[in-house]
Amino acid sequence: MGECLNLEEIFPAYRIRMSRDHEPKHGRDPWNFEIPCSRFKAAIYPHGGTRLQAHIHTRYVKTALTELEAAGASPWQVGDLEATVLFEAADFQKVAAVLRPHRKAPGRSAAELNLIRPQKVGRDEGQTGGSEPEVGDLPPKDEK
């Protein structure tokens, strides 16, 4: 296979998912990465070399193509309800303004969360507590 852009390395601020048609034995192959977008039910994929492709699925194909062509993309395959456009990686920000790709949620890394998460200690190690009270901890019932 030829060279392709690694979306994880080039666009780290955007959410990356594996395409639905990847083979499990390929692992994290850059050819299987896609960036999901919120507009036109789109997804951005590597096309090869320095080019990317965006697949859109919408009833408004003509409107979507007009906006994407203004952003620097060229139609590759056009159907009644879907289309594929090609564009250079240098035009990603302009195309992203049209397609609105999902960004990663801001937050802490897994390593940081492990530092602040309370460590679970078993009852045999001497720590009682938890969500369920012990039998001796229950208040006596009032008998009437």
> What tens digit of pLDDT does each residue of 56-103 get?
999 999 999 999 999 999 999 999 999 999 999 999 999 999 999 988
CATH code assigned to 7-99: 3.90.1150
Tally Cβ neighbours within 10 Å of residue 121: 12
For 29-35, what is the mean pLDDT? 86
Per-chain mean pLDDT for the chain? 80
Which residue blocks in 71-109 are alpha helix, DSSP H? Answer: 92-99
- What digits encode the pLDDT tens for the residues 5-15? 988 889 888 88
Q: Which residue has the higher pLDDT, 117 or 17?
A: 17
Instruction: Fill in the DSSP letter of residue 126.
Output: T
pTM, two decimal places: 0.68
DSSP code of 13?
T
Percent of the chain with pLDDT over 70: 67
Domain ranges of the chain: 7-99
Q: For residue 119, is pLDDT > 60?
A: no
State residue 109's pLDDT score.
Answer: 62
